[in-house]
Structure 1
């Protein structure tokens, strides 16, 4: 079997047995294809069964000159997963990346927005355009429910349980969760449905998809990024933001207002609470307030 055959087999494993999303599988595959391109470029004819640690190290060294440490760490992790799969399927008995160290990258925390910045961002939306009500409803949903952009674009009308105060979200690995939705977000979604969406010529297969483009198709992730970037430019927001910024702000604001990490973890759909801790970064001033408010040795007890 050649590389493509092994890659396709691996993709099937990721999709069927691990239940990973299409985007995640594509990211895993891209790392392997990058290795294949390196081998081809350097005239190295070797199968994934026989490739050794020395060849992998040459590839990692080549990659390190092109990408930052974080991307390098992701590539190493992706390749380790691929070769672990080959071991699992008894194609080989060792992992050539076993002794290759992942570069230390630290925790990269995305920008977060204040409540005022989010309000300003949303208030900048031009509601006189056909897409204005849709864009307001989308941003309110991203921030109000802490969704991933892929979860927003896949959200269906049948996933809305407004009477119960929840929406059903299908997240990574097709895992479903129910997320609370506030009255304000419900209001803006309802306005969008009643004033804009009902006038669209909806394409077959997207009748139940909530947020649509002007042609009646499902919105792309790139389109959501563009909408948010354009709004940030209009208000001269000097931050590198995207849909994930609103998700991160959702978690941060909840924690700052007293929500516990476990509840935030469930709403974000994180398997591990460690992931939630990375998302929720707090300044030292807030941590001091927590100690002074909740610790039994708080300062106010001593005079």
Structure 2
């Protein structure tokens, strides 16, 4: 088996068997391509069947000179998945990454925005341009529904069930979920669709996409980041923000206002509750208030004997 055949079969496996999104598949493939490029520099034409732990160790050491520990861990994880696939298909008996230790990563808590900071971002948008109305609707939609950036840019008109108060979201692993949408966000989306989007001629295969650029094509992930970065500069916001900041803020507000963590998990489309639990650590003062208020001993006076 050569590398071209292995990576092609692996791509099909990720797409068909695991049902991963294109972004996830591209990410896994990048990890394998980095290893292939490294082997080419060494003039090593070994088949993936014969790659050893020593080769992987040498590759990771070389990569560590230019990437941080988080990227190293991601690279090791990607390669581990690839070689697990080769074992699954009986191409080899062992995984050369098994003896490779991933670097310890300190979990960085995500930034969140106060409601006033979100309002300031929206207020800084120039609504005299059609893109301004679109950008305002984008921010409102992410913040109101807690969407990932990929979920936003792929949102379709046929996913909007306003009469029922829901939108349908295609999340990771090509799994759909229904997310409630606030009536104020429905109003903004209706205005954008009726007054702005209706004047755009969508490109072929983009007819159902909600958010389009002026040329009728769906927005890119990078464009959403640029929109938010520019607004952060305009409002002199010192926090590092992106679409995920609005998503984190959405979840944090729900938690502060008493939403159950399992409900937040479903709304965000997290596969595991442990992913959602990061939001618990965002506001320890809130958790302390909850314990003091609802603890079974909260009615006992400390002066009682």
Q: Indicate the TM-score class for this superposition, using the shorter chain for normalisation.
A: over 0.9
Deviation, 1:280, is: 4.6
Instruction: Determine the structure 2 residue equivalent to 1:28.
Output: 28
Deviation, 1:202, is: 1.7
Range with greater deviation from structure 2 (85-94 or 251-260): 251-260
Equivalence map 1:175-254=2 (5 Å) = 175-254=175-254
Q: Secondary structure at the match of 2:50?
A: coil
Residue deviations 1:220-263 (CA, integer Å, cap 9, x gap)? 11111111111011011111111111111111111011111000
Instruction: Determine the structure 1 residue equivalent to 2:13.
Output: 13
Instruction: Determine the structure 2 residue equivalent to 1:40.
Output: 40
1:90 aligns with 2:90: yes
For residues 257 and 282 of structure 1, what CA distance do their matches in structure 2 show?
14
Contact 1:292 1:300 in 2 (8 A): no
Moved over 6 A (4+): none
Instruction: Determine the structure 2 residue equivalent to 1:158.
Output: 158
Instruction: Determine the structure 2 residue equivalent to 1:67.
Output: 67
Deviation, 1:284, is: 2.3
Residue deviations 1:50-76 (CA, integer Å, cap 9, x gap)? 010111100111111111111100000
Contact 2:109 2:282 in 1 (8 A): no
Residue deviations 1:264-294 (CA, integer Å, cap 9, x gap)? 0000001100011124532321121111111
Instruction: Determine the structure 1 residue equivalent to 2:273.
Output: 273
For residues 4 and 299 of structure 2, what CA distance do their matches in structure 1 show?
64
Instruction: Determine the structure 2 residue equivalent to 1:136.
Output: 136
Q: CA, structure 1 residues 209+54, in 2 after alignment: closer, same or farther (shift >3 Å)?
A: same
For residues 76 and 149 of structure 1, what CA distance do their matches in structure 2 show?
25
Structure 1 vs Structure 2 CA RMSD: 1.2
Instruction: Determine the structure 2 residue equivalent to 1:147.
Output: 147
In structure 2, the gaps of 5 or more residues are none
For residues 111 and 47 of structure 1, what CA distance do their matches in structure 2 show?
44
Q: CA, structure 1 residues 151+301, in 2 after alignment: closer, same or farther (shift >3 Å)?
A: farther
The aligned length equals 303
For residues 278 and 63 of structure 2, what CA distance do their matches in structure 1 show?
27
For residues 236 and 299 of structure 2, what CA distance do their matches in structure 1 show?
41
Q: Secondary structure at the match of 1:140?
A: helix
Deviation, 1:205, is: 1.5
Q: Secondary structure at the match of 2:178?
A: strand
Contact 1:292 1:299 in 2 (8 A): no
In structure 1, the gaps of 5 or more residues are none
